[in-house]
Structure 1
Amino acid sequence: MQSLPTNYRALVIGSSGAIGSAMVAHLRADPRCGELVGLGRSSTPRLDLEDESTIAAAAAALRASGPWHLVVVATGMLHGPGQMPEKRLAQLRCDDMLRSFAINAVGPAAVLTHFTPLLAREERSLFAVLSAKVGSIGDNRLGGWYSYRAAKAALNMIVKTASIELARTHPRTVLAALHPGTVDSRLSAPFHAAHGKRPASQAAADLLAVLDKLDPAESGSFHAYDGERLPW
């Protein structure tokens, strides 16, 4: 991460997932990274996106180690036990939609609430959340996937709104929503042929490269892994 200060401090939330663990590996290999912490349900401190108290406690535990220059929320939920993306409106179940929102939008919003105060103010800092191109309202041409699309669209709005506030207190910070593409992971396993998936290591490298190049004037933007700016 050439745009960050030497010995920058990095946090990866969702570090046990395919993209999160790949990001940890890339950052660990970066000689300019001075400190790296991965957080998740099995980490110490523990962080569970469905339990705000763990998010607040993790942020409090890491505050004294800051300021932090890079925070990546590498999480997401497309399907789960007894829950698959809806193909038709008739398949929509409110409980499934609420869980999708909890993990894909509300949880990351809570991370923003508790972790943005830990960001460096006098130096450049970066805060990224994994979104998805299917969360783009302007790009929706196929329909379906109601819960996931709506939750990621909500996440995009949270990112855009938070970037406006953050610019007042952290003018050198970039907040961005990133689309990783179709990655070989548990999230994409039921939906795409093997040849259509990109390795998580490549996705992580691409996303970090895109983030590294963003200017503070682009804070609050939505980008794909190849740098393309995506419509809201």
Structure 2
Amino acid sequence: MRALVLGASGGIGAALVARLRGQGASVTALSRSGDGLDLTQADTVADHAARLQGQDFDLIVNTIGALVIDGHGPEKTMDAVDPQAMARQFALNATGVALAIRHFAPLLARDRRSVMGSLSARVGSIGDNDLGGWVAYRAAKAAQNQIIRTAAIEYRRRNRHAVLVALHPGTVETPLTAKYAARYPTITPERSAGALLEVIAGLTPEDSGSFWDWKGARVPW
């Protein structure tokens, strides 16, 4: 297997790289800190994808995302909405994913099943939202889900073997969740990575455009 992990220096990304390599996969690992890949900067996404032209990947996983950006954490009420903070959420968690799909999805293998998954979040589910709050993050992740769904429809025509999916990794013990996870059961990055790979292993092209959690259950849009 040939795999590409975006965000390989983060908790889940690093765990995915380690797990895949432990399974004998050939892994290309990219990150902002190590390689300058920044999903909010279109030129860096295009440049890194261009360097990989000619390779075909069985698996591409985007683990890049953020809950707190430039000190702005999730809002508790609509009164806390800040337009600049919301724009930054969309730039990374939605537009950045669109750029990742635009430039990296063409590298998916075309002669066999191949998967591109992007880490979304259950709080991005509109149907599962019973608590409110976290307006910008929820909205950006919901937008990411729509981007993946839309791209999957296009890729049914471009690459019939490709599977594009949104993935909820669970509430993982990483710096991203440290301040907000105290009230929720958490799992380690290693457990999340292993579970996500098991979910991915069971996907077929008919599942393209869907949203799955780390336990293998579909998440409502």
Q: Residue type matched to 1:36 in 2?
A: V
Query: What does residue 69 of structure 1 align with?
Result: 58
Residue range with higher mean Cα deviation, 116-125 or 16-25: 116-125
Q: Deviations over 1:141-181 (max 9, x none)?
A: 00000000000000000000000100112111111100011
Match of 1:18 among 8, 11, 36: 11
Query: What does residue 3 of structure 1 align with?
Result: none
Matched, 1:210 2:199: yes
Matched, 1:52 2:42: yes
Q: Is the 8 A contact 1:121 1:169 kept in 2?
A: no
In 1, distance between residues paired with 2:28 and 2:2?
8
Q: Residue type matched to 1:178 in 2?
A: L
In 2, distance between residues paired with 1:174 and 1:110?
17
Query: What does residue 158 of structure 1 align with?
Result: 147
1:192 CA drift (Å): 1.8
Query: What does residue 106 of structure 1 align with?
Result: 95
In 1, distance between residues paired with 2:180 and 2:126?
21
Q: Residue type matched to 1:148 in 2?
A: Y
Query: What does residue 36 of structure 1 align with?
Result: 27
In 2, distance between residues paired with 1:10 and 1:160?
22
In 2, distance between residues paired with 1:98 and 1:119?
30
Aligned-residue RMSD, C-alpha: 1.2
In 2, distance between residues paired with 1:194 and 1:200?
18
In 1, distance between residues paired with 2:99 and 2:34?
18
**Number of matched residues?**
221
Query: What does residue 68 of structure 2 align with?
Result: 79
What runs of 5+ residues in structure 1 fail to find an aligned partner? Answer: 1-7
Runs of 4+ in 1 over 6 A off after TM superposition: none
1:80 CA drift (Å): 3.1
Percentage identity across paired residues of the two chains = 47
Q: Is the 8 A contact 1:50 1:103 kept in 2?
A: yes
Equivalent residues in 2 for 1:143-222 (5 A)? 143-193=132-182, 196-222=185-211
1:40 CA drift (Å): 1.1
Q: Is the 8 A contact 2:113 2:204 kept in 1?
A: no
Q: Is the 8 A contact 2:56 2:109 kept in 1?
A: yes
Q: Is the 8 A contact 1:13 1:40 kept in 2?
A: yes
Q: Residue type matched to 1:223 in 2?
A: W
